[in-house]
Amino acid sequence: MPFSKISPVLAQSLANKGYEALTDVQAAVLEDGTDGRDMVVSAQTGSGKTVAFGLAMAAELLDGEGRVPPVETPLALIIAPTRELALQVSRELSWLYRSANAQIATCVGGMDASKERRNLRSGAQIVVGTPGRLRDHLERGALDLSALKVIVLDEADEMLDMGFREDLEEILDATPQTRRTLLFSATMPGAIVSLAKRYQNDALRITTVGKDRGHGDIDYKAVTVSPSEVENAVVNLLRYHEAETAMLFCATRDNVRRLHATLQERGFAVVALSGEHSQSERNQAMQALRDRRARVCVATDVAARGIDLPSLSLVIHVEVPRDAEALQHRSGRTGRAGKKGTAVLIVPYPRRRRVEGMLRSARIDAEWGNAPTAKEIRQQDRERLLETLLAPIEVEDEDRELAARLLEEKSPADIAAALVHAHRAKMPQPEDLIENTPDARRAEQEERHRPGFEDTIWFRMDIGRRQNADARWLLPLICRRGHITRNEVGAIRIGQAETFFQVPRNIADRFADALDRTAASESDEENTVRIVHSPEGPREQARENRKGNFKGKPKGKFAGGGSGAGARVHAKPADGKPSGAKKHRKGGFKGPKTDGGPGGPKKGKFVNRNKGPAS
C-alpha cells in the first residue's frame, strides 16, 4: 500500500481524494527520523505542501483510534500570509481530517471576528489563520495557545517579506516550549534562518527543490510584442489556448482594474482579485471560478497567493515579474498535483534581455516565439469545433424531435452552418497584431496621428511634471493663448521639465501670431512660462539632451512661416492654485474647471487623443 506510514483514517481520505502516491515533499516529511522533530522544509509551489504538513502533524493530533480527541483549546495552529492561502489550507485540512472528527477554525481578516471567537470557544482542535487576525484574537484572550502541540508557518519567507515578523514573534512566544514547530518556506533568506534558530530545536532541514528550479509540469513560453499591444496579445493568448481556467498577473491594482474592464468589454467571463477588493468580493470571485461561471482571473501577486484551482491550466504574466522567485510563484498556480500547465510571459521588445536574465536565474528553459495570430486562432477554433461536434453524445427523444423539425425547415448544410455560426458568435474576436519583424517594429514606433495631423509643427512650453504640469489645464491654456480649439491641438507630451504639443502646419502661422498678441498683455515674469516653436520634437530633443547638446529655449521662425516668438503663459504652481489672481481673472484662467474657450475641455480626466508611443 503506498500509504503504509500513514494513519489508516488519513490514508482513506487520500484514497477518496484520488491520491495514488505521495508527492516528494509529502514522502520526505514522513521519512524515518522525522517523528516529533522540528523541520524546515523547502519545496516548490504546487508540490502538495499543505497535505505534507497535514500528514506530518498527525502524530501530535490523533489518538490510538485515529481520531482527534475533543479539547477545550487548540492542539495545532497553522499561520499563512494571506486570507486566500489560509482559506485554502483550511479546505485542504478539512477533507484530510474529516474522518478523524477534527474541528477546524479559520481566522482571517475581513471575516466576522465574533463568529471566529465562537468557533474558537466551541473546541476547535486545529486553527488556521493570518498573523494579524491571530494576534488580535490572542491579545483579546479569545485564542488560548497554552496546550498547543504543533505550529506550522506556511510560506514563512512571504510572511517576513510582508512585515509580519512582530506578529509571528508574539504568537510564537505565547506557545509552549514543548510544541513542535514546522517551518515551510520556498526560499531560505537570512531572516528565515534566524527565525528557525530562535524558535526551533535541532530542526531537520528538508528540501525537495531540485537543480531544475523550474516546475517540471509547467510548459514555459515567452512571446515578444510591441509595448502598445500587450492587451491585444492577452486577448489572442486567451483565445488560442481556450483554457478551462486562466490566471493573468498584473503589477498594480490599477492595471488589474483596467485589464478586467477591457476583457469584460471583449466578451470574456472574467473576475478580478486585488488588494482593493473586500473578502466577500474575493470569495465571490473564487466561487465564480470554481463554478465555471468565470474562466479568467486578473490578479496582483499578493491577491493570488495561495490560490489553488484544479482547473487552472494557463498562467499569463501580463507584466514582467519583479524577479525569478515571483515568476516561479506566479507560474506555480498551474501545473499542480501532477497536472500539466502552461505559463506565458508577455515580453515587450525593450525588456527581452531582462526577461532572458530572469529565466536564466530561475533555470527555466522557455520557448520564445510570437503571440498567436488571428489566423492561427481561427484554425484552432475549427479544430476544437470539429472535435466538439463529432464527439459521441447521448441524445434524448425531445432533442431528436426538434432535430427532425429543423430538417423539415432547412437542409442539413444550412443547419450545420447555423450551428457553427452560433458557436463562433459566443467567442471574443481575436486581434490583428503587428508582425514581429524589425521593419514592422520600426514602423510601429513612428508617430501615429489622427486625420488632419499628418503634417504638424511642434511647440514647447518650459514647464513639466516637476511643476505639476497636467494636460487638463495645459490644453485650455494653449487654446486660450493661441486662439484655437481643442480639436486643433494634436499630441501633448509632458516631460520632466518641458511639455511639447502639436499644431497642424496650416494653422501654425495664425497660432504663433495669437501667441505674440496674448503675450504682450502679460508682465508678471515670476509666474509665466514661454510657449515657443520647437524645431525638434520630443523624441529628437530628448536624444539631443542625452548627448549633452541641450541649447536652451529655441528662438526664431519655424519652417512654414510664423514668427514663433516666445509667448509667455501662466504656469500652474505646485499647490494647484495659480498665483497672480487679478491677472488670471482678467485673462479668464480658472484652473482645471475652465472650458478653455471655444471647444475647450470640461472638467474630468484628460485622454491623449493622439495615439503613439510616449517620448
250 pLDDT more than 90? yes
Confidence of residue 238 (pLDDT cuts 50, 70, 90): very high
Residue 191: is its pLDDT beyond 90? no
Per residue in 288-315, pLDDT (tens digit) is: 998 889 999 999 987 666 677 878 899 9
Q: Is the dihedral of CA 273, 279, 281, 285 positive or negative?
A: positive
* 434 pLDDT above the threshold of 80: no
pLDDT at 131: 93
Output 310 or 211, whichever has higher pLDDT: 310
Residue 498 has pLDDT above 80, yes or no: yes
DSSP string, 553-614: S--S--TTS-----EEEEPPPTTS--S-HHHHHHHT--GGGS--STTPPPSS-----S-S--
Calpha distance 322→345 (Å, rounded): 12
Cell numbers for 517: 498678441
Q: How far apart are CA 218 and CA 538, in angstroms?
A: 44
Share of the chain above pLDDT 90, in %: 32
Place of cell 495631423: 453
> By C-alpha distance, which of 126, 56, 36 is closest to 90?
126
User: DSSP state, 502?
Assistant: E
Distance of alpha carbon 225 from alpha carbon 212, whole angstroms: 28
Per-residue pLDDT of 541-570, as tens digits, reads 666 665 665 444 444 444 433 333 344 444
Dig out the grid coordinates for 235 from the structure: 486577448
105 or 291: which leads in pLDDT: 105
Better-scored residue on pLDDT, 302 or 230: 230
What pLDDT, on a 0 to 100 scale, did the predictor assign at position 170? 93
Residue 96 and residue 15 in contact, taking contact as beta carbons nearer than 8 Å: no
Q: Considering only residues 242 and 448, tell me which one the structure prediction assigns the higher pLDDT.
A: 242
- 415: Cβ contacts below 8 Å, ≥ 6 apart: 406, 407
Beta-strand pair 456-461/528-533:
antiparallel
pLDDT, residue 440, reads: 64
Chain segment 590-614, per-residue pLDDT in tens: 343 333 333 333 333 333 434 443 3
Q: Is residue 242 within 8 Å of residue 271, measured between CB atoms?
A: no
- Residues 77-95: what's their mean pLDDT? 90
321-339: pLDDT as tens digits? 988 878 888 888 887 766 7
- Mean pLDDT, residues 283-289: 88
492 near 538, Cβ under 8 Å? no
9 versus 552: the higher-pLDDT residue is: 9
Q: What is the 3-state secondary structure (H, E, C) of 81-149?
A: CCHHHHHHHHHHHHHHCHHHCCCEEEECCCCCHHHHHHHHHCCCCEEEECHHHHHHHHHCCCCCCCCCC
For residue 546, what pLDDT is reported? Answer: 59
pLDDT at 23: 85
The pLDDT of residue 452 is 72
Rounded CA-CA distance 555/566 in Å is 7
Backbone angles phi, psi at 14, to 5 degrees: -65, -45
pLDDT at 2: 55
pLDDT over 50 at 583, yes or no = no
| Least confident piece of the model among 54-63, 106-115, 367-376, 524-533 | 524-533
pTM score of the predicted model = 0.56
**Mean pLDDT over each residue of the chain, to the nearest integer:** 80
CA dihedral 358, 360, 366, 371 (to 10 degrees): 40
Q: Give the single-character DSSP code of 252.
A: S
Distance in angstroms (rounded) separating the CA atoms of residues 294 and 127? 31
Q: Are 242 and 384 in contact (CB under 8 A)?
A: yes
Contacts for 314 with CB less than 8 Å, ≥ 6 apart: 237, 238, 241, 243, 245, 246, 247, 334, 341, 342, 343, 344
Specify the pLDDT at position 522. 52
What domains lie within the chain, and their CATH numbers? Answer: 8-207 (3.40.50.300), 218-373 (3.40.50.300), 456-593 (3.30.70.330)
Q: What is the pLDDT of residue 580?
A: 38
At residue 573, the pLDDT reads 39
Q: Are 61 and 76 in contact (CB under 8 A)?
A: yes
Rounded to an integer, what distance in angstroms lies between the CA atom of residue 185 and that of residue 192? 8
- Calculate mean pLDDT across residues 576-580: 40
Predicted confidence at residue 87, as pLDDT, reads 87
- How do strand 341-348 and strand 312-317 relate by DSSP bridges? parallel
What is the amino acid identity at position 528? T
CA distances from 45 to 153, 251, 305 (A): 15, 20, 10
Residues 6+ apart with CB under 8 A from 443: none
Q: Where do we find the cell 481643442? A: 486
pLDDT of residue 141 exceeding 80, the answer is yes
Q: Please identify which residue in the block is written with the cell numbers 491623449.
A: 608
| Whether residue 413 has pLDDT greater than 50 | yes
pLDDT bin (cut points 50, 70, 90) of residue 60 is very high
In 3D space, the residue among 244, 610, 289 whose CA is nearest the CA of residue 448 turns out to be 610
> Rounded to the nearest 10 degrees, how much is the dihedral formed by the CA atoms of 60, 65, 67, 68?
-40
Give the pLDDT score at 541: 67
Q: Which three cell numbers stand for residue 180?
A: 513542535
Q: Is the separation of the CB atoms in 459 and 512 below 8 Å?
A: no
Q: List, for residues 19-43, the tens digit of each pLDDT value.
A: 888 888 898 999 888 888 999 998 7
> How does DSSP classify residue 207?
E
Separation between Cα atoms, residue 215 and residue 355, nearest integer Å: 17
What's the grid cell of residue 373? 495570430
**C-alpha 358: how far from chain center:** 18
pLDDT number for residue 174: 93
Using a pLDDT cut of 70, give the percent of the chain over it. Answer: 80
Q: What is the mean pLDDT of residues 218-245?
A: 92
Q: How far apart are the two ends of the chain, measured CA to CA in Å?
A: 66
The alpha carbon of residue 401 and the mean position of all alpha carbons in its chain are separated, in whole angstroms, by 49
Confidence (pLDDT) at 612: 40
pLDDT tens per residue across span 470-494: 777 888 888 888 889 988 898 888 8
What's the pLDDT tens digit per position in 355-377?
A: 999 998 888 899 999 999 999 99
> What nine digits make up the cell of 146?
497554552
